[in-house]
Chains A and B, each alone.
Chain A
Amino acid sequence: DIQMTQSPSTLSASVGDRVTITCRASQSISTWLAWYQQKPGKAPKLLIYKASTLESGVPSRFSGSGSGTEFTLTISSLQPDDFATYYCQHYSSYSWTFGQGTNVESK
């Protein structure tokens, strides 16, 4: 089974900061990677799919990159609404795996 490992687990940042979250796969997954944002008490929200494609309606300050085993989610200028937990997710052959999540908190 492919394991997805996110880092860091917690990230302390301020409004306006550039934030980068990393997701590593235990083996190559091409670009089968999505990113979600989740706020307390809410369902996850799709941000990015196929590693770098921005979901419709998601602000352009969010971007994704990577292929193979290493991927990043970048928030170019952190906004107050962006404090949340972020998850990466991999798909392969009718099976889905999530990273353990990265909590972006206010410094």
Chain B
Amino acid sequence: QVQLQESGPGLVKPSETLSLTCAVSGYSISSGYYWGWVRQHPGKGLEWIGTIFHRGNTYYNPSLKSRVTISVDTSKNQFSLKLSSVTAADTAVYYCARHNMIWGVIGDYWGQGTLVSVSS
């Protein structure tokens, strides 16, 4: 059974960098699939942040591209999100997910999500 688990600070100061990691179990990232991040502002809808392939190919939402970096560590079977220069508008629940490109699906498996608040 594929499982994803987000981890990282729940509180980040304005102007600093948000850093989250998604640990994957039950499937080797190196075996394929694309992996990515989705966020949800409190009480709002879902927003794609970015995507990575195990070879390091990355794709980002144009609205966030200048501040986002997604990386992968196949030795630890995990991938990470960095979002720089955060403001209160980046307060959200952050989900990691496995994409299924054949189906065009952003998430056939999801982490449970982690709330990140931006506040001084």
Contacts and interface: CB of A to CB of B under 8 A. Distances in A.
B45 interface: yes
Given A43-B113, A49-B100, A97-B48, A91 B105 contact: yes
Contacts of B51: 94, 96
B79 interface: no
A43 B59 contact: no
Contacts of B48: 95-98
Interface in A59-107: 87, 89-91, 94-101
Interface residues of B, number: 21
A96 B106 contact: yes
A36 B47 CA distance: 13
Nearest to A1: B62
Contact of B110 (A43, A94, A95): A43
Contacts of A21: none
Contacts of A100: 45
Contacts of B112: 42-43
B103 A50 contact: yes
A100 B112 CA distance: 20
A90 B46 CA distance: 12
Given A34-B104, A101-B45, A101-B46, 5 more contacts: A50-B104, A89-B46, A91-B106, A94-B59, A99-B45
Interface of A: 32-34, 36, 38, 42-46, 49-50, 53, 55, 87, 89-91, 94-101
What are the nearest 8 A-B pairs in CB distance? A91-B104, A43-B110, A94-B59, A49-B103, A96-B48, A98-B46, A32-B104, A96-B106
Interface of B: 45-48, 51, 59, 61, 95, 97, 100-101, 103-108, 110-113
29 contacts: A32-B104, A33-B104, A34-B103, A34-B105, A42-B113, A43-B112, A44-B46, A45-B110, A46-B105, A46-B108, A53-B103, A55-B108, A87-B46, A89-B46, A89-B106, A90-B104, A91-B104, A91-B105, A95-B48, A95-B59, A95-B61, A96-B48, A96-B51, A96-B106, A97-B48, A98-B46, A98-B48, A99-B45, A101-B45
